[in-house]
Amino acid sequence: MTQTIRDLALACRDAAQAVAELSTDEKNALLRSMALSLEDDTPAILQANASDMAAAEAKGTAGAMLDRLKLDSGRIAGIASALREVAELPDPVGQVTRSEVRPNGIRVERVRAPLGVIAMIYEARPNVTADAAALCLKAGNGVILRGGSEAIHSNTAIATALKRAISAAGVPEAALTLMTDLSREAMVELLQLTDIVDLAIPRGGEGLIRFVAAHARVPVIKHYKGVCHLYVDASADPELALRLLVDGKVSRPGVCNALETLLVHRDIAASFLPDAAAALRANGVEMRGDGTTRALVPAAAPATDEDYAAEFLGLVIAIRVVDTLDDAIAHVRRYGSDHTEVIATRDEANAARFVKALRSAVVMVNASSRFSDGGELGLGAEIGISTTRLHAYGPMGLESLTIERFVVQGEGQVRHPPKA
């Protein structure tokens, strides 16, 4: 088995070289043909998905998980259409990001190039199989996909459809490699192939991500969780703040850019918090607050340190009244996850201080935390979110799957010309 994982990865690396040399038009044509192939295979994919669903139901899998696993023809059409959208995105590969002629006449260009081989480690969602493949290939990379065992039949059927298109385009199909050995040992082996795998991106629950981070020797870009804060400054427009609060907490509480904690300046707490509490209660949100909050909002339960550090992934919010902007900043520094923070304010100096003092990947001034998403921020599509302060920070799009290299054009310049 040791030989096999390494062989798979080596084959993917060789195929990645072929992908790297495709033109933009060739890559876009490939993505469109992958979409067609997926649509053609709809019956086979649905049948494979049915056996995954039956196995999951037999195991008593929870409803939310079943929903993530389930495919129907509408969802498959959606996946195909996502592939076509990736084809429409600008190609980062070959982009010249800077160009300078040095005093000695050499032209130094920075040019975007593919990373190489990317390992995606993910859980139940079979759509990730196609989405990740599309983004990795568009950026000129090979991809090794290691999905969850609960989706293995669906993932295999999707990969089969995609590989047919890859093969038809004259690219070795190992450019998309789906791991079928789903043992932890095989995953660990993959994550230690430092001479082959350039980057691992885990997507899923905190447990999976911590496992990947603990066992990987290859670089990992990840985020564990999103503990996103809304700070309502003394100068905030209360209606605006309320809008951000409800959108942030209620519009989709199970995702990482949902709000988990509300911080309110004491000067606005007495007027803001009762209205906020009414809106939260009307949306079924459970509140946990400090003493000052509870004096204003009797319905709030006492908040613990764990509540302030929690990603609830549901309709619960932690609330604290703070004396100053600096106290709000200190709270975020202590409990935050470097994901996304929001300030509601009419004071530009306070906004600037909040942005500068916090090191989170995304900081919003008077906008909802729910915009912390590749599509919403203009990246086109998202391969993941990074709270690792290296290479990429925040939502990651196609560009995050490339690296800038140096290309120099000269006319025979040397560093130490021979003495005349």
Q: Which residues are at the interface with a copy of itself (CB under 8 A)?
A: 17, 20-21, 100, 102, 106, 108, 113-116, 194, 198-199, 213, 219, 237, 239-240, 243-244, 246-248, 251-252, 333, 355-357, 359-368, 370-372, 376-378, 388-391, 393-395, 403-418
Which is nearer to a copy of itself, 266 or 333 (by Cβ)?
Answer: 333
Give the C-alpha distances (Å, rounded to integers) separating 206 from 120, 152, 155, 200.
Answer: 15, 21, 22, 15
SS3 label, residue 43: helix
Q: How far is the CB of 267 from a copy of itself (least distance, A)?
A: 20
Q: Which is nearer to a copy of itself, 39 or 404 (CB)?
A: 404
Q: How far is the CB of 188 from a copy of itself (least distance, A)?
A: 15
- Minimum distance between the CB of residue 408 and a copy of itself, rounded to whole angstroms? 4
C-alpha distances (whole Å) from 368 to each of 26, 196, 376 are: 38, 40, 11
Q: How far apart are CA 231 and CA 64, in angstroms?
A: 31
Task: Identify which of residues 64 and 330 has a Cβ nearer to a copy of itself in the complex.
Answer: 330
Distance in Å, CB of 240 to a copy of itself, minimum:
4
Which is nearer to a copy of itself, 63 or 378 (by Cβ)?
378
Residues 6+ apart with CB under 8 A from 331: 229, 261, 263, 308, 320, 322
Q: How far is the CB of 273 from a copy of itself (least distance, A)?
A: 19
Alpha-carbon distance of 191 to 212, in angstroms, equals: 8
CB of 262 to a copy of itself, least distance (A): 15
The pairing of beta strand 107-114 with beta strand 117-122: unpaired
The β-bridge relationship of strands 316-322 and 392-396 is unpaired
Distance of CA 177 to the CA centre of its chain: 21
Which residue from 418, 390, 416, 420 is spatially nearest to 403, judged by alpha carbons? 390
Task: For strands 199-203 and 259-265, give the pairing.
Answer: unpaired
| Nearer to a copy of itself among residue 217 and residue 266 (C-beta) | 217
Nearer of residues 2 and 411 to a copy of itself, judged by Cβ? 411
List, in order, residues 6 or more apart from 192 with CB less than 8 Å away. Answer: 215, 216, 217, 218
Cβ within 8 Å of residue 45, ≥6 positions away: 38, 71, 76, 154, 157, 158, 161
Q: What is d(CA 337, CA 146) in angstroms, rounded to the nearest whole number?
A: 26
Q: Minimum distance between the CB of residue 391 and a copy of itself, rounded to whole angstroms?
A: 4
- Where b means 16+ CB within 10 Å and e means fewer, 316-326 reads bbbbbbbeebe
Cβ proximity of 203 and 128 under 8 Å: yes
Q: For residues 52 and 247, which CB has a smaller minimum distance to a copy of itself in the complex?
A: 247
209: nearest Cα among 176, 187, 237, 232: 187
Longest CA pairwise span in the chain (Å)? 88
Cβ proximity to a copy of itself: between 188 and 357 the closer is 357
- What's the closest the beta carbon of residue 29 comes to a copy of itself, in angstroms? 19
CB of 412 to a copy of itself, least distance (A): 4
Name residue 288's beta-bridge partners.
301, 318
Q: Which is nearer to a copy of itself, 108 or 309 (CB)?
A: 108
Nearer to a copy of itself, 189 or 247 (CB): 247
The answer to whether 358 and 343 have CB atoms below 8 angstroms apart is no
Minimum distance, C-beta of residue 20 to a copy of itself, in the bound complex (Å): 7
